[in-house]
A and B are shown apart, each in its own frame.
Chain A
């Protein structure tokens, strides 16, 4: 049973473009929605996160949009750069349990 569904599986974006990754969740008890960034051979690192009482959160070029009624949230990377090329994971958590999506491999063309 996949509690967090992430799409697309892979994404190619031109430098300077907008990268958009989408996630959907099933359990309405989830109360925290983070995004993690992972570079090859490394563990993931927290990028940005949002709680369901907020519809949008922005940190620099990274923005999370959250739609509670649709049980969906997305990551937008503005002015995408080659250094943003990585695997991105959305996640949802309740109490001490954190469930991740399957990840999106993002490649930014120079």
Chain B
């Protein structure tokens, strides 16, 4: 069966510090991978999606970046965090294009 791992579950970081969130998927090959951010009152905002290794589509201008170094690994990064980067970050994968399977999320607080 397929599983998705996302860590850490919670993270508190000072403004200006770097960020690295990792997501891995098991039990499937060549999945589509997604990063969403959930902020209060803003719903699920699509940040990045990837249809293959090294292929990243960015949806929102920001100081975040994403990379896919391996088929089932998706990394969200920032060189310098802003207060506005606080939120609940969700990684998701799909095999059938429409059905998303979400990870358990990372609650990021930038102070």
Contacts and interface: CB of A to CB of B under 8 A. Distances in A.
Interface string A66-110: 000000000000000000000001010101111111110000000
B98 A49 contact: yes
B43 A95 contact: no
A8 to B, nearest CB: 13
A98 B43 contact: no
Interface residues of B, number: 24
Contact of B97 (A42, A96, A99): A96
A97 B105 contact: no
Interface string B89-104: 0101010011110111
A102 B90 CA distance: 15
B74 interface: no
Given A44-B44, A89-B44, A103-B43, A98 B98 contact: yes
Contacts of B94: 96, 98
Contacts of B36: 100
Q: Is the interface of A mostly helix, strand, loop or mixed?
A: strand
Interface residues of A, number: 24
Nearest to A101: B43
Nearest to A102: B43
Interface of A: 6, 9, 32, 34, 36, 41-46, 49, 89, 91, 93, 95-103
10 nearest A-B residue pairs (beta carbon): A43-B102, A102-B43, A100-B44, A32-B98, A103-B43, A96-B32, A43-B90, A93-B98, A44-B102, A96-B51
Given A44-B90, A49-B99, 6 more contacts: A46-B100, A93-B97, A97-B46, A99-B46, A102-B41, A102-B43
10 contacts: A6-B43, A32-B97, A34-B98, A41-B104, A49-B98, A97-B59, A98-B94, A99-B46, A102-B41, A102-B43
